Structure 1
Amino acid sequence: MEKSEEKIINQLTSEFNLRPEQVTNTVKLIDDGNTIPFIARYRKEATGSLSDEILRDFYDRLSYLRNLEDKKEEILRLIDEQENLTVEIAKSIENAVTLSELEDIYRPFRPKRRTRATIAKEKGLAPLAEIILAQNPNDNIESISLDFIDAEKDVESSEDAMAGAMDIIAEEISDNPEYRKDIRQKTIDFGLLVSKASTEDDSVYRLYYDFAEPIKKLANHRLLAINRGEKEGFLSVKIDIDEEKITNYLFRRLTPKHESPSTKYVKLAAEDSYKRLIAPSISTEIRNMLTENAEEASIKVFNQNLSGLLLQPPIKDKIVMGFDPGYRTGCKVAVVDETGKVLDTNVVYCTLPNHDKDKAKKILTDMILGNNVNLISIGNGTASKESEIFISDLLKEIDREVFYIMTNEAGASVYSASKLATEEFPQYDVALRSAVSIARRVQDPLAELVKIDPKSIGVGQYQHDMNQKRLGEALGGVVENCVNSVGVDLNTASPSLLAYVAGINKTVSKNIITYREENGKFNTRKELLKVPKLGAKAFEQCAGFLRITDGDNVLDNTSVHPESYKAAAQLLKHMGYTEQDVQDGTVADLKQRLSKENTHKLAGELGIGEITLKDIADSIIKKGRDPREELPQPVLRSDILSMEDLKPDMVLTGTVRNVIDFGAFVDIGVHQDGLVHISQICDRYIKHPTDVLSVGDVVKVRVLEVDVPKKRISLTMKEV
């Protein structure tokens, strides 16, 4: 076991290009039950400042390699129990670097259902198969086969004997791990993924009705689209390769240079082995591998998009009207104050020709003026275009500066029908809860969106086709990273937000809320230790990410961890500051003063690492500051453009709504998002749009082309 762990450490060191001590320390921190956010933020000296993204990849790879080593032990044991283990097989198992390689090695020893080969062996034809494979030039194989005729075993003729022997040879060829590995690689290198229409009906998959592309060049989004088309019955899909290329490879491996009467039978068996046994399973393996790789790539894009959405800057100190558009059932309206408390609700009808729009204007005007509304947040779903036009016209008639913003409402209906929403707003129906959610999303996107299953937020592609468990784990990690990077107000946070704080689960988050309701607000982080089921380990993990804005200790409103409070106090004293200076925000020059110090020596005197010393200084300077406030603010609008207003070369400001493999969709205020193709994002070559863009980015774009009938807008970011 120690040897396996040493091997894993060495492999991780090589793969992640890290120092051995970084890897050893990180593995130990993970094994000791520390969370990724805690390790990333508070154990930088040990890890060498690895980011949370790298740490999550590291954790996944560590799990895979450990699973691989466990599988090796299991396969060694199983083969040994069969008394088939040899030095060569043990060495092959030891050198295997993927689970598929291990499966290839174990294939000949795996208990099989009755196959044509096992039936032939039961008939005593294995010796004949060995003679054929030996390909002795002096053998008269037809004559030898007569010796294996046995009516009792249902071998009636020489042909029956030869057929059974070749079935055995075909299975042996198929079970050879080296052949399978080579054929798999040749199929990847030279094969095509081919899709054909399996219906005459038109569909969104028409591009793939007669499609073929080399496996090595196949784009992930195309593969996922083809998979979905096949699943929905519009496409038939296969992997195509020149069979002669594969069979010639097998002939070279299986047949001697000298000619033998048996060679033609070995070739027939090889052809049968490939067509009947190898090709179908290799095809399935490759398609599974391609799908897994495409899903992982899509999950990464989804992760980055979700992170961008969650970390959009909050629009603070605004009274917001949430506007959930609808047709027949009307538009649901909710006004919330600066803290998110609901002040007013209503339903107006303004999106259909027969609606009384004057009445709707009167209701909304009264709500806006009566509640001093500053901003209207309009959901971007059904009837949003009509709603935006109506709101834009209304704002021109109101003697008050009010702006509106189009808000991604994905998942609002999921939240409003949830148990959580029912507990939060028992007095409102499902529709009005959606309006509240749409209003709160602009006040604090992170706090509101954590209430929704990340898979329902809809900023990815083909997410419903993916492995839902893997997707859920990955997206949950993104939410956790975002919540902990921002920090959480311990005295105002919802259970949903608290549950994503490192070291806190849903049970403990509810216990924190209960404690807060029963005992009043927390005055110190240490009080957390009084919360049921929140022990010393959980406190260590969560404390640094929780904030108390007006508590007894000013450091409780920073990201300084309680374990470093003593060092922080000594640092302030050494630099000539008091805690009151921190409270008053008069420590802005702390970093400048620190730059004149021998930080290595000072860190040693304080009993902390040099990286931690600099982090403490940063945290003290940024006391109470929300890191999202440093990002570009969302685009607020008071008027609307239509697609007909757009002309080529117009320059507009927009907000990135979604980033996908081939580009990004940008909201430019005309209801229909425009596409910036990957080739139009920047002048230099980029592998993926996420190299440059994230959801929520505010960007300048120039109109390239507008197709009103097809509702398509092409944009560029070049030379803007």
Structure 2
Amino acid sequence: MEEQLVNLVSKQIDDASQHQIGAVLDLLDQGNTIPFIARYRKEVTGSLDEVQILSIQNEYKRVTALQDRKQAVLNSIAEQGKMTKQLSTQINQAEKIQDVEDLYLPYKQKRQTKAMIAKKHGLMPLANWIMSFKQGDLATQAKQYVDADKSLPAIGDVFDGAHEILAETFSEVANIRNWVRNYTMQHAKMVTSVKKSGKSIDEMGVYQQYYEFEERLVNLSSYQVLAINRGEKEKVLSVKFDVDESPVENYLHFRLIGHRPESESSQFIEEAYEDSYKRFIGPAIERELRHTLTEQAQEQAIGVFGENLYHLLMQAPMKGKIVLGFDPAYRTGCKLAVIDQNGKFLTKDVIYPHKPAPQSKRDAAEGQLIDLIEKYGVEMIAIGNGTASRESEQFVSTALGKINRPVYYVIVNEAGASVYSASQEARDEFPDLHVEQRSAISIGRRLQDPLAELVKINPESVGVGQYQHDLPNKDLDNELDAVVERAVNQVGVNLNTASYQLLTHISGLSKTIALNIVHYRDENGRYDSRAQLKKVPRLGPKAYEQSVGFLRIIDGKNPLDNTDVHPESYSAAKKILELAGVSVAQIGDTQQNQKINQLNDQQLIDETGLGAETVKDIKASLQAPGRDLRDDMPTPLLRKDVLTIEDLKTGMKLQGTVRNVVDFGAFVDVGVKHDGLVHVSKLSRKFTRDPRKIVAVGDIVDVWVDSVDVDRQRVQLTMIEPKDQPVA
């Protein structure tokens, strides 16, 4: 990789050396994927993880885009015959796109302005004379340009033209724009107010806190910026900047006039720079900063969404359980679907436990549910959290109390389930079922294996972000795709049960190859070895290399195929087992693991020729075949009873599941109809601005009721333990 680009990337990457950055860029350039590099090329990269590698890749893209823009600007100015050595140096040394654009502004093609017209009329020499502060009468100089019969019939027209030239010139000085931009960002306030018709538009008072609001730009949080933008777009709010202009005028005076004595020229220049700031510089900087604040807020929101999605995908699966998916509804009835331990659909039913169903159907609903639970040995019920969820929870809780064995229920976030259920993929899998019935299956599978089910759904539909509809689609999609890829490859997939949707996210596999893998499995039966993948159409050597380590075969011919060990290291793995006195068939046995663990790492490095990190990973993989990172994550909160918002009292202690984390706090499901909010100030006794440093989606947390608003169905929670609290 070109040394100059590596140096430029390294300036913005704090947690990797230039050598590591160069190694990563070379590996990416060779067609390697981020999961493959992170897992199987640790010696080359110095054990950088997926997030670090992605940061390097993104910074490289930014740097190359900056370099491309610099070259385009240099070419454009050179073609105009206006390039100077100093300007070339300034452009080449610029570190931001904005700096390049500031330098390019005077040379940029634009629509005709008053200043351009004045220059055509020959007033540039007069403007230069004024800026030179030469001795002489300004009116006398101006009279030389009066042309009574043509474009400049009076001296006032001459002065106006010179004024326009100076005002525009000042607005295009890169150093001036940069100073004003920095000053405005540091000292200006954003002020919002409600428009005359705003309250009638904002019937629910969504933007009420911004009806009279002001905050310094540097203190604005990302969710405030996005909320204000949306309120302005919906014509509820008016937005402006409040800037103390005195320091700006003082700077412009010093920059353009300095300590020169007052004169006609200095007065003329003063009027020009004041007008330049009001008409050109100030409004342009305000637009730029609004854009910058929005970009930063969007980047933050995308990061929040990505991190929440990662934790949602990495929730612990409920393995080996027969699950009943329960999709609640009122009028159309609750759709039920039973799925076996492997996610296979067994049967379906519809019950009508809620009004407006006839009393006879409501009376029969409980018996139907209990019969289904007993007939199929259901161990867990997954209740979707949509319409009629809490009423259904109460119904299920009552029914479970009449069963003489432990059966639990879990409230499952069903966001996006209906989207998937109506998709072509769902229709292909269950062509004979209605959308709602497919949705019940999806809800049940989400409890069994959140990752395998959620990858079928557009990540934007899973409901763990903030202002996601206001975010740039391309950037959001790129971030979420990277998160899904990271999660899927960290967990790995069972080659004999994985859906093509899940396989599509495996390192090196395209949708076409994923479909071919499933098609080959359908035609030829289960895979017995990883090597069989080489027979799959269009799965070439590179795709095999990048993907095979993340694909597992349970009970195959070679036990190593059920580990993280890459086939390229099988010979080394067998050497390690040989040194430990363990056969391949014995891997994973507790007693044999002790033998492997006792091996000297340096000896293994010498014997295998591998690096220390690879040896360490192989040892760990041999001791835990079929490992699943999610087994270490919090398991879903199991319930048998139900709460209502009326049951909650201030100070009551509850246990809940974190459903969403946003900039201003976390939403926690404590078993009532609506998730309660733990404000960022109530997450910990220690101050934090970032809730993600304390909680993550899927965490099981202890909370206390801070306040309850029954009318608005709002619950405020705290994670700071109060004294003498009642316990629920």
TM-score range, shorter chain: over 0.9
**Distance in 1 between the 2:565 and 2:659 partners?**
34
Q: Which residue of 1 aligns with 2:341?
A: 338
Q: Which moved more, 1:145-154 or 1:173-182?
A: 145-154
Q: 2 CA distance for matches of 1:229 and 1:10?
A: 39
Alignment partner, residue 635 of structure 2 = 633
- Residue matched to 1:144: 141
Aligned to 1:531: 536
Does 1:185 pair with 2:190? no
How many percent of aligned residue pairs carry the same amino acid? 47
Distance in 2, matches of 1:580 and 1:428, equals: 43
Deviations 1:649-705 (Å, cap 9, x if unpaired)? 322221111111111111111222222222222232333111121100111222222
> Is the aligned partner of 1:513 residue 2:518?
yes
1: CA distance between counterparts of 2:643 and 2:65?
Answer: 56
* CA–CA separation in structure 2 for the residues paired with 1:6 and 1:308: 32
**Alpha-carbon offset, residue 714 of structure 1:** 2.3
Cα gap change, 1:3 to 1:49, in 2 (>3 Å): closer
**CA drift at 1:286:** 0.6
The CA distance in 2 between the partners of 1:222 and 1:10, in whole Å, is: 32
In the superposition, relative to structure 1, how do residues 432 and 185 fare at CA in structure 2: closer, same or farther (>3 Å)?
A: same
The question of 1:288 aligning with 2:286 is answered no
- Superimposed CA distance per residue, residues 430-463 of structure 1 (whole angstroms, 9 cap, x where no aligned partner): 1111111001100000000000000111101001
5 Å matches for 1:86-235?
86-136=84-134, 138-198=135-195, 199-201=198-200, 202=203, 203-235=205-237
Check 1:415–1:313 CA distance in 2 against 1; reply closer, same or farther (3 A cut).
same
Which residue matches 1:589?
Answer: 594
SS in 2 for 1:533: coil
Could you tell which deviates more after superposition, 360-369 or 605-614? 360-369
Amino acid at match of 1:11: K
Alpha-carbon shift at residue 601 of structure 1 (Å): 4.5
Conserved? CA contact 1:9–1:24, under 8 Å: no
Residue 649 of structure 1 aligns to a residue whose secondary structure is: coil
DSSP-derived class of the 2:286 partner: helix
Deviation at 1:370, TM superposition (A): 1.8
Structure 1 unaligned blocks of 5 or more: none
- Which moves more between the two structures, 245-254 or 413-422? 245-254
Any idea what SS the aligned residue of 1:187 has? helix
- Give the drift of 1:246: 1.6
Per-residue CA deviation, residues 541-569 of structure 1 (Å, 9 max, x unaligned), is 11110000111111110001111111111
1:267 aligns with 2:264: no
Question: SS at 1:426's partner residue?
Answer: coil
Deviation at 1:501, TM superposition (A): 0.3
Write out aligned runs for 1:422-437 (5 A).
Answer: 422-437=427-442
SS at match of 1:451: coil
User: Which residue does 2:4 correspond to in 1?
Assistant: 4
Structure 2 match to 1:691 = 693
Using the TM superposition, name which of 299-308 and 700-709 deviates more.
700-709
Question: Which runs of structure 2 are paired with 1:59-98 in the superposition (5 Å)?
Answer: 59-98=57-96
Read off the aligned partner of 2:5 and give its amino acid letter.
Answer: E
1:457 is aligned to 2:454: no
Distance in 2, Cα, partners of 1:518 & 1:188: 63
Secondary structure of 2:636's counterpart equals coil
- Aligned letter for 1:155? L
Report if aligned partners of 2:6, 2:22 keep a CA contact under 8 Å in 1.
Answer: no
Aligned equivalents of 1:348 and 1:478: distance in 2? 38
* Distance change >3 Å, CA 475–CA 153, structure 1 → 2: farther
Shift of 1:515: 1.1
Cα 1:129–1:369 change in 2 (3 A) is same
Distance 1:439 1:97 in 2: 51
Maintained 8 Å contact 2:530/2:553? yes
Matched residue, 1:22: 20
Gap change, CA 1:537 and 1:151, over 3 Å in 2: farther
- 1:237 and 1:587 map into 2 onto residues whose CA distance is 68
Deviation at 1:585, TM superposition (A): 5.7
**One-letter identity of the residue aligned with 2:116:** T
Q: 1:11 Cα shift?
A: 2.4
> In the alignment, which residue of structure 1 is the partner of 2:725?
none
The structure-2 alpha-carbon separation of the partners of 1:355 and 1:242, relative to structure 1 and needing over 3 Å to count, comes to farther
- Whether the aligned pair in 1 keeps the contact of 2:577 and 2:596 (CA below 8 Å) is no
Kindly indicate whether the alpha-carbon contact (under 8 Å) linking 1:666 and 1:675 is maintained by their aligned counterparts in 2.
yes
Partner of 1:379: 384
Q: How many angstroms apart in 1 are the aligned matches of 2:335 and 2:574?
A: 52
1:703 match: 705
Q: Shift of the alpha carbon at 1:104? A: 0.6
- For residues 103-139 of structure 1, the C-alpha deviation after alignment (integer angstroms, 9 at most, x for no partner) is 1111111111111111111111111111122222x22
The 1:200/1:521 distance shift into structure 2, 3 A limit, reads: closer
C-alpha separation in 1, matches of 2:3 and 2:562: 46
Q: Kindly tell me: are residues 649 and 200 of structure 1, through their superposed partners in 2, closer, same or farther at Cα, counting changes over 3 Å?
A: closer
Please name the residue that 1:712 is paired with: 714
Kindly provide the CA deviation profile for residues 383-427 of structure 1, in whole angstroms up to 9, marking residues without a partner as x: 112111111122223344321110000001110111111111111
- 1:573 aligned to 2:578? yes
Whether contact under 8 Å (1:590, 1:617) holds in the other structure is no
Residues 314-353 of structure 1: pairs in structure 2 closer than 5 A: 314-352=317-355
Q: Residue 505 of structure 1 aligns to which amino acid in structure 2? A: S
SS in 1 for 2:324: strand
C-alpha separation between the residues in 2 aligned to 1:133 and 1:549?
A: 81
Residues 644/496 of structure 1: CA separation in 2 closer, same or farther (3 Å cut): same
Q: Identify if the C-alpha distance between structure 1 residues 552 and 152 changes in structure 2 by more than 3 Å, giving closer, same or farther.
A: farther
Tell whether the 8 Å contact from 2:588 to 2:623 is kept in structure 1 after alignment. Answer: no
Alpha-carbon distance in structure 1 between the residues aligned to 2:141 and 2:650? 82
What is the SS of the residue equivalent to 2:527? coil
The SS at the match of 1:148 is coil
Choose which of 393, 396, 406 in structure 1 pairs with 2:398.
393
SS state of the match for residue 589, structure 1? helix
Task: Give the match's secondary structure for 1:655.
Answer: strand
Q: Does 1:31 align with 2:33?
A: no
Aligned equivalent of 1:482: 487
| Conservation of the 8 A alpha-carbon contact between 1:123 and 1:153 | no
Match of 1:444 among 437, 440, 449: 449
Measure the CA separation in 2 of the matches of 1:332 and 1:91.
69
Which amino acid in 2 is paired with 1:8? L
* Correspondences of 1:636-675 after superposition (within 5 Å): 636-675=638-677
Equivalent AA in structure 2 for residue 185 of structure 1? N
